[in-house]
Amino acid sequence: MLYDDLFIRLERARWQLSEDIPFDAIDPSLVSEQWRSDLRHVCLTELSALYATEMFIRDFYADIDFCSFISVWFYEEMKHHLTLRMYLERLGETFEEQELPKLRLTFAPGPAIETLTMHFCGEQRLAHWYTAFSDNAPEPVIGKIFKILAADELRHAACYAKYMRKAAQNKPETVIDMLKMSLWMLRSTNEAPKHPTTLTTPSVVGQLEDAEYISRMLSWYLPGRDHEKPVQRRVLALMGELTGEKLESMRDLLRAIRRLEGTQTPAAA
């Protein structure tokens, strides 16, 4: 089981909420109303790990290895929610526990391979966003928090990649579904950013007071179209590995999909 090794690796990389975040050094005067509101939304979006976990455990019913890993992922994502909430509480913001169930969602069952791929791409993208939020943070402690969270999200992406490799090894015919979902996920814009929390109907972000907050933060901190290059590079690297060819652009990815479609469905053609 991949879980055994991932458990140890994630344990070694783990940071301590009570020791590694200098909550006493926070300077509330540096954090504008806009940042408070945006941080509040990021914090509530992290809570979506709760609904996603419910979905994973249901849709990966027979995959004990992956469900075991999800226990660690769930713990770490809820820790992100808690870290941001504790930061905001230090600024004097409050969260009503009774209000939180209103955000609760249940996702429709989905095909496991697509879900896995969507989350792999989503973690890569979130790491990219959090790095930008860290670089633009108005206050040093929240800058540090986003840097730490970005590293966690990247590690999560690496774990999802391991499960995708395992799936590809056990069922090579699933690779085409991974490629298709990756291409769809890579076709993302600041106006309609693709992440597991924005894609379902209804979506997690759609439940929030200000559903446009991600688009707005991206237009401020990651303007333009080319900023996604690092995300594309990392996704294409894994897809290239799975297909055994070098994929350097989304066009290459599309070509690989067409080629695989040609070899897998001659009857349909």
Give the footprint of Fe ion on this chain (CB under 5 A): 77, 80, 123, 153, 156
User: For Fe ion, which is the closer residue by CB, 159 or 176?
Assistant: 159
User: For Fe ion, which is the closer residue by CB, 52 or 253?
Assistant: 52
User: For Fe ion, which is the closer residue by CB, 155 or 243?
Assistant: 155
Burial of 223: CB neighbours in 10 Å, binned 0-12, 13-18, 19+: exposed
The answer to whether 145 and 62 have CB atoms below 8 angstroms apart is no
The answer to whether 246 and 253 have CB atoms below 8 angstroms apart is no
Q: Buried (b) or exposed (e) across 238-266, using 16+ Cβ within 10 A?
A: bbbebbeeebeeeebbeebbeebeeeeee
Q: How far is the CB of 133 from Fe ion (least distance, A)?
A: 12
Alpha-carbon span 74 to 127, nearest angstrom: 17
User: For Fe ion, which is the closer residue by CB, 218 or 260?
Assistant: 218
Q: How far is the CB of 244 from Fe ion (least distance, A)?
A: 28
3-state SS, one letter per residue, for 20-57: HCCHHHCCHHHCCHHHHHHHHHHHHHHCCHHHHHHHHH
Q: How far is the CB of 149 from Fe ion (least distance, A)?
A: 6
Q: How far is the CB of 153 from Fe ion (least distance, A)?
A: 4
Q: How far is the CB of 168 from Fe ion (least distance, A)?
A: 22
User: For Fe ion, which is the closer residue by CB, 143 or 240?
Assistant: 143
